[in-house]
């Protein structure tokens, strides 16, 4: 009879994959991930049939971590600027506090092995972000084309996270300035 799967062992593999991918890239071997998790390589394949399956699971897991960091206290009834600033501030601080996870997310997000189903699951998690964009478009407050708004947010957030990591004593000021740049780029009205 096969031994039941352990949530702790699965979590250890995901944590190890986060660290290994962030440090070595997605080409890192599963043996290295297993070793980092302190499990046999055979155990790895008990939890994930393929490396692609692990990458999809890691993408889901990190997106949930981001949602857990960003969504508490989300001001659903506030204006567009306040809702966007809430997400911005929480996302930037999550990235600063979790540099390895941030790097791993950057890598797995670009991976061609992430399935459309996995990407769709990730999109559901951030429905409130989509709602902000829809509200902004309805109110004619968004000046960038749809495909550029999310990329602008991501690029400016990455820049702000990098700067805060270099100058942690200026975190509040840099986060506020980064948001001011984002709002200026996105909004057609102050």
CATH number, domain with residue 39: 1.10.10.60
Clarify whether residues 104 and 29 are in a common domain: no
Clarify whether residues 158 and 175 are in a common domain: yes
Distance CA 77, CA 84 (A): 12
Clarify whether residues 114 and 44 are in a common domain: no
Distance CA 17, CA 24 (A): 10
85-92 CB contacts, 8 Å cutoff, 24+ apart = 85/179, 85/183, 87/128, 87/129, 87/132, 88/153, 88/157, 88/175, 88/178, 88/179, 88/182, 89/175, 89/179, 91/66, 91/157, 92/157, 92/160, 92/161, 92/164, 92/175, 92/178
- Domain of residue 141: give its range: 58-186
pTM of the model: 0.88
Supply the pLDDT for residue 73.
94
Q: Are 39 and 12 in contact, with CB atoms under 8 Å apart?
A: yes
Please count the structural domains in the chain.
2
* Strand, helix or coil for residue 54: helix
Distance CA 122, CA 99 (A): 20
Clarify whether residues 94 and 145 are in a common domain: yes
Clarify whether residues 108 and 142 are in a common domain: yes
Which parts of the chain register pLDDT below 70?
1-4, 147, 188-190
Clarify whether residues 21 and 107 are in a common domain: no
Supply the pLDDT for residue 1.
43
pLDDT digits (tens, 9 = 90+) for 106-126: 999 999 999 999 998 877 777
Supply the pLDDT for residue 4.
56
């Amino acid at each position: 009879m096969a031994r039941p799967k352990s949530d702790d062992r699965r979590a250890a593999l995901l944590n190890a994959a986060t660290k290994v991918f962030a440090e070595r890239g997605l080409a890192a071997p599963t043996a290295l991930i297993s070793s980092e998790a302190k499990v046999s390589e055979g155990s790895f394949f008990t939890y994930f049939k393929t490396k692609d399956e692990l990458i999809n699971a890691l993408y889901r897991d990190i997106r949930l971590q981001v949602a857990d960091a960003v969504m508490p206290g989300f001001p659903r009834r506030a204006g567009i600027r306040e809702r966007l600033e809430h997400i911005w501030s929480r996302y930037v601080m999550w990235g600063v506090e979790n540099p390895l996870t941030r790097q791993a997310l950057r890598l797995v997000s670009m991976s061609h092995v992430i399935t459309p189903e996995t990407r769709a699951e990730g999109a559901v998690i951030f429905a409130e972000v989509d709602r902000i964009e829809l509200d902004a478009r309805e109110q004619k407050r968004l000046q960038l084309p749809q495909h550029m708004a999310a990329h602008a947010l991501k690029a400016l957030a990455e820049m702000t996270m990098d700067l805060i990591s270099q100058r942690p004593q200026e975190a509040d000021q840099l986060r506020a300035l980064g948001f001011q740049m984002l709002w200026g780029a996105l909004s057609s009205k102050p």
